[in-house]
Amino acid sequence: MTMIDARVPLWFYGVTSIIYLVSAIVCFLVSFFSYKTYKMDKKKKILLLLFGFLLLGIGFIVLAIPSLYIYFGLTYYQQTSLSINYVNYLGFSIYYLVSSIAYLLFLGMYIPSNFSKKNFIIFVPLWYANSVRFNLFSIFVLSVVFLKTLINSIRKRNLNSFLVMFSFLSLALFHLLTYLTSFSVTSFVMAHSILILGFVSLLVMLIRVNYIGKKKV
């Protein structure tokens, strides 16, 4: 089997490319249906959801580009003009940045309207540019969002609210699994499957809002 290094087989970059592209497509669909929902109900949190998933979609596209570059460069040309480590580092650094902004937008969906009047400042240190710190940051922010959606789901007891809660639970679990488990193809696919399932859950909710009937979430 052709290997990139002692740990990652070459075909794995092909698999990651597909996973990242599928994730990006679902994120863009969520963003699109968020826009359609926003036209019906011009709430700030829907707008934040729209831009949050737009940024996540861009982040996954950025991740897919290095994987595609490495996979096709080594499959068909047996070399790449840029260092594999450099390409991966650049792609993941951009992904960490845009995803962090997206998660803060999600958090902003559940910040009370009078929050800004209390003169609080959300400080986002730029120390998350590695997987451990980024995942810890993401787990913290998404856990807060999940708890808010859980309370909302218990209070409203409807399917749409449950789908929103499940979506953010999936995002938090994705980062928790990524942080706790050692790297392997199996753990990677499992974690990203949970992530995509969460995206699809939110997409289903937005489709229901647009085509089946509007319910508050």
The pLDDT profile of the chain, 217 residues, written as one tens digit per residue, is 343 444 556 777 788 889 899 999 999 999 999 999 898 888 888 999 999 999 999 999 999 988 888 777 766 656 556 667 777 788 888 999 999 999 999 998 888 766 555 544 444 444 444 678 888 888 999 999 999 999 989 998 889 899 999 999 999 999 998 888 776 777 888 888 999 999 999 999 998 888 775 555 5
Structure tokens at 60: 């996954």
For residue 127, the tally of other CB atoms under 10 A from its CB is: 9
Domain assignment present for residue 35? The answer is yes
pTM: 0.79
Its domain, for residue 101, covers: 10-111+127-211
Domain assignment present for residue 3? The answer is no
As a whole number of angstroms, the distance between CA 13 and CA 15 comes to: 5
DSSP label at residue 77: S
SS3 9: strand
Domain assignment present for residue 135? The answer is yes
Domain assignment present for residue 176? The answer is yes
Tell me what pLDDT residue 6 has.
Answer: 41
Tell me what pLDDT residue 157 has.
Answer: 87
Tell me what pLDDT residue 213 has.
Answer: 59
Domain assignment present for residue 55? The answer is yes
The number of domains in the chain is 1
To 10 degrees, what angle do helices 185-211 and 159-180 make?
160
As a whole number of angstroms, the distance between CA 206 and CA 29 comes to: 10
